Amino acid sequence: MGKRKRSQRVVDTAATSQDAVTTVNILPQKKYYRQRAHANPFSDHALEYPPTPTAYEWSKLYPAFEGTGKLPEFADVGCGFGGLLIALAPLFPDTLMLGMEIRVQVTQYVAERITALRLTEPPPTPESTTPQTLHKPYQNVAVVRANAMKFLPNFIEKAQLSKLFFLFPDPHFKARKHKARIISTTLLAEYAYVLRPGGIIYTITDVKDLHEWMVTHIEEFPLFERVSEDSLRREGHGGVIDAVRTSTEEGKKVERNKGEKWLACFRRIASVRS
């Protein structure tokens, strides 16, 4: 039996002011990186994590931003196959985004996908005066294998994030497994810690019970207030909302099956209101 091919050849053509440049890129094939849809967050996954956020070498993930002092501002918890990261990367080219995924194969896929996509852009023209990073797409996105339920504060500093995403999380239908849901009172304290005032939590699911669970828990937490989709769009977050709804594998599957999605967003407030 022949060796399986884990990647496919894709030709990307980009034009500069002088001539067209063609880059031959190798993209991984998702079908070779499949794992179970979800993983038990309480299992021992032999994970590596820094003792503190300042101990992590972010330049390994974002080499184009080395020396800038930039840290990830968006975090996609349980990023899956990276659809949201890839959709948002060109919308915020100077904002670092981090995917956190516990599954080995899926994390490997996202890492290889990003590596391949970083090769698609031609070098900047000599007369260009814009920052060099803007000529290198997807330099601002990266993924780490991590259990965010246990180790989020090991990677993210206080008030570091402006956006935190929970897209189609494991519903854990059985009542005895609700403690494993990614939204809980205890975990919300950590999310409030890493989100800066004004930062936004985005949640979406196709399970109405889970949607109601997340809304109830976040609304009851004193450091978050719900914000409507219309309000976020008026504030200029329409591109993010669209990506949340449509960019993930799970979201596309729901659309193919003509299912329903429930979106809820929440803003981190500066202090507890009396």
Tell me the pLDDT tens digit for each residue of 142-172.
Answer: 999 999 999 999 999 999 999 999 999 999 8
Tokens of 118: 């970083």
CATH of 72-268, one of 3.50.50.60, 1.20.120.160, 3.40.50.150, 3.40.50.720: 3.40.50.150
Establish whether 101 is an annotated binding residue. Answer: yes
Is residue 148 marked as binding? yes
pLDDT tens digits for range 74-130: 999 999 999 999 999 999 999 999 999 999 899 999 999 999 999 875 455 444 444
Tell me the two tokens of residue 55. Answer: 């101990």
| pLDDT of the residue at 160 | 98
| Mean pLDDT for the stretch of residues 198-217 | 97
How would residue 38 be classed by pLDDT, with cut points 50, 70 and 90?
Answer: low
**Residue 250 labeled ligand binder:** yes
Q: Which residue has the higher pLDDT, 5 or 115?
A: 115
Q: What is the per-residue pLDDT across 217-259, written as a single tens digit (0 to 9) for each?
A: 999 999 999 999 999 999 999 999 999 999 999 999 999 999 9
Residues 22 and 11 sit within 8 Å (Cβ to Cβ)? yes
| 198 carries a ligand binding annotation | no
Give the residue numbers marked as catalytic.
170
**CA 238 to chain CA centroid, nearest Å:** 17
Degrees, nearest 5: CA angle 216-168-183: 35
When comparing pLDDT for 25 and 171, which is higher?
Answer: 171
